């Protein structure tokens, strides 16, 4: 897969612009938080509980990737990642020990992923259901929709904003997808 520096600069600027536009729409940001509350309630209704072990944050170990939308990156950007070097190892930069430093604003994929094997089907179906709603939120609020692997997206934003990006204002190898 390409590294963030292999992605055309137009795509990088598009991501920054999409994230910035999302952050400037408080109604969108609140609607995203409301969507997250619905997802969390669906997980609770299913009996899905995060044990807080942090294995899911080690994407290289779990063999998966976490994709996020521009809106999710905008909300996630309200918390500075404690360890951006983790992106280079395909690990979540928000993980500190077994805990998530961005738990309140974590993306949809984190909210529906549970280590229990009996929840795999539920997780997949629930992700698809709420991801459709997330796309509709972007459309309803007339915001661009970008879908990017988390560590690549954070790396890309860091490359655009400099070595010490101000995530409160606004990083690995998957391409940026704009639709």
Domain range for residue 138? 8-164
Convert the pLDDT of each residue in 116-134 to its tens digit.
778 888 888 999 999 999 9
Is residue 178 assigned to a domain?
A: no
Whole-prediction pTM: 0.81
Judged against a pLDDT cut of 80, whether residue 3 lies above it is answered with no
Angle of CA points 95, 11, 161, to nearest 5°: 55
- 102-107 — which CB contacts under 8 Å span 24+ positions? 102/76, 105/75, 105/76, 105/78, 105/79, 106/76, 107/66, 107/68, 107/72, 107/76, 107/150
Is residue 128 assigned to a domain?
A: yes
Higher pLDDT, 151 or 129: 129
Please report the sign of the dihedral spanned by the C-alpha atoms of residue 66, residue 96, residue 20, residue 15: negative
Is residue 2 assigned to a domain?
A: no
SS3 156: helix
Structurally, the chain folds into a number of domains equal to: 1
User: Which pLDDT value is given to residue 173?
Assistant: 36
d(Cα 12, Cα 73) in Å, to the nearest integer?
A: 13
- In contact, 43 and 112? CB cutoff 8 Å: yes
Judged against a pLDDT cut of 50, whether residue 35 lies above it is answered with yes
Mean pLDDT, to the nearest integer, of 78-102? 85
Mean pLDDT, to the nearest integer, of 164-178? 40
**CB contact set of 6 (below 8 Å; sequence gap of 6+):** none
Is residue 35 assigned to a domain?
A: yes
User: Which pLDDT value is given to residue 174?
Assistant: 39
Mean pLDDT, to the nearest integer, of 167-177? 39
d(Cα 177, Cα 149) in Å, to the nearest integer?
A: 9
* Percent of residues, the chain, with pLDDT higher than 70: 81
Judged against a pLDDT cut of 90, whether residue 136 lies above it is answered with yes
Is residue 170 assigned to a domain?
A: no
């Amino acid at each position: 897969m390409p590294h963030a520096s292999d992605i055309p600069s137009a795509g990088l600027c598009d991501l920054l612009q999409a994230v910035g536009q999302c952050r400037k729409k408080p109604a969108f940001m609140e609607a995203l938080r409301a969507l997250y509350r619905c997802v969390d309630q669906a997980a609770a209704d299913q009996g899905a509980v995060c044990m807080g072990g942090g294995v899911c944050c080690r994407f290289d170990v779990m063999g998966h990737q976490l994709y996020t939308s521009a809106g999710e990156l905008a909300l996630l950007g309200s918390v500075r990642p404690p360890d951006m070097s983790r992106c280079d190892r395909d690990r979540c930069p928000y993980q500190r020990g077994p805990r998530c430093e961005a738990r309140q604003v974590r993306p949809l994929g984190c909210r529906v992923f549970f280590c229990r094997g009996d929840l795999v089907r539920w997780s997949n179906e629930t992700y698809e259901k709420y991801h459709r709603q997330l796309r509709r939120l972007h459309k309803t609020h007339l915001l661009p929709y970008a879908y990017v692997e988390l560590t690549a997206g954070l790396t890309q934003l860091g490359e655009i904003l400099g070595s010490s990006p101000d995530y409160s204002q606004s990083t690995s190898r998957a391409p940026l997808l704009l639709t």
